[in-house]
């Protein structure tokens, strides 16, 4: 597979000591939802590892909204589920968000030794590749956030997305349609849609597989021991 020789594809518990550029990938759905939030006008997104941490952080930030999930479902006190469809139609112009998810946000927060961190999904794949290439540090390390200690071979949807981003970085054919098809047919897509109710929209997977819908990357800034996502437009 393109990119596997040079770029590294790791789980979040393998990030200790990893420097350079790290790209945390969560296509279903954390960083797809984050991208749609920025497209809807969000100013910044602070990342949290735990539900209580997210709620506490939101209380410290004026008028902050909380989005995300715990085991796929919107926790009590959260303003939005981890749904790109729901967030795309929200009134977010200039708003500050706090996001907590079971995989994606934890993948970013584990990259404590990285020099630069990006959060990515299919909707901003090529923009992420361009942002990474600008750093000139060679192949990045991709975090397949859908891998868990009790399911170390999981996260196929995130791995497929990371491989597409790496193809974009190398200037290779993206294989966008095939990648989108495989992500939509993945186990994680089925698990996501099976949540039902207010925790998922039937079109969430379709929104997540809209390759290169946005022309911006999402870069992580470290601020007083916390991590904040900001939108980084590319030419």
Length of the chain: 235
Q: How far apart are the first and last CA of the chain?
A: 28
Cα–Cα distance measured from residue 225 to residue 234, given in angstroms and rounded to the nearest whole number: 27
Give me the pLDDT at residue 5, please: 44
Full pLDDT tens readout for the chain, 235 residues? 343 348 999 999 999 999 999 999 999 999 999 999 999 999 999 999 999 999 999 999 999 999 999 999 999 999 999 999 999 999 999 999 999 999 999 999 999 999 999 999 999 999 999 999 999 888 999 999 999 988 777 899 999 999 999 999 999 999 999 999 999 999 999 999 999 999 999 999 999 999 999 999 999 999 999 999 999 999 7
Give me the pLDDT at residue 75, please: 98
Q: Which 3 state secondary structure label does DSSP give 109?
A: helix
Give me the pLDDT at residue 103, please: 97
Contact 123, 212 (CB under 8 A): yes
- Please return the burial class of 5, using the count of CB atoms within 10 Å of its CB with bins 0-12, 13-18 and 19+: exposed
What domains, with CATH codes, occur in the chain?
A: 8-233 (3.90.1560.10)
Instruction: Give the CA dihedral 6, 216, 10, 208, nearest 10 degrees.
Output: -120
Give me the pLDDT at residue 151, please: 79
pTM (predicted TM-score): 0.95
Please report which residue ranges of the chain form alpha helices under DSSP H.
30-39, 51-60, 84-88, 104-109, 125-134, 156-170, 176-184, 187-194, 204-208
Instruction: Give the CA dihedral 10, 14, 16, 17, nearest 10 degrees.
Output: -50
Cα–Cα distance measured from residue 169 to residue 214, given in angstroms and rounded to the nearest whole number: 16
Give me the pLDDT at residue 4, please: 38
């Amino acid at each position: 597979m393109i990119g596997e020789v040079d770029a590294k594809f790791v789980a979040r518990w393998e990030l200790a000591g990893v420097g350079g550029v790290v790209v945390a990938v969560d296509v279903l759905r954390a960083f797809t939802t984050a991208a749609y939030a920025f497209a809807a006008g969000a100013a910044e997104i602070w990342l949290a590892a735990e539900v209580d941490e997210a709620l506490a952080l939101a209380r410290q930030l004026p008028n902050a909204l909380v989005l995300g999930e715990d085991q796929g479902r919107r926790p009590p006190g959260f303003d939005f589920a981890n749904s790109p469809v729901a967030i795309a139609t929200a009134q977010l112009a200039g708003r500050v968000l706090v996001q907590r998810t079971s995989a994606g946000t934890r993948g970013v927060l584990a990259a404590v030794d990285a020099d630069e961190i990006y959060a990515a999904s299919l909707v901003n794949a090529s923009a992420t590749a361009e942002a990474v290439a600008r750093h000139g540090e060679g192949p990045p390390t991709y975090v397949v956030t859908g891998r868990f200690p009790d399911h170390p071979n999981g996260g196929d949807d995130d791995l497929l997305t990371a491989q597409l981003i790496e193809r974009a970085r190398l200037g290779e054919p993206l294989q966008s349609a095939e990648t989108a098809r495989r992500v939509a047919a993945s186990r994680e897509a089925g698990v996501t849609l099976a949540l039902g109710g207010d925790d998922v929209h039937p079109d969430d997977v379709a929104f997540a597989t809209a390759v290169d819908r946005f022309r911006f990357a999402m870069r992580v800034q470290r601020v007083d021991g916390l991590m904040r996502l900001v939108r980084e437009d590319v030419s």
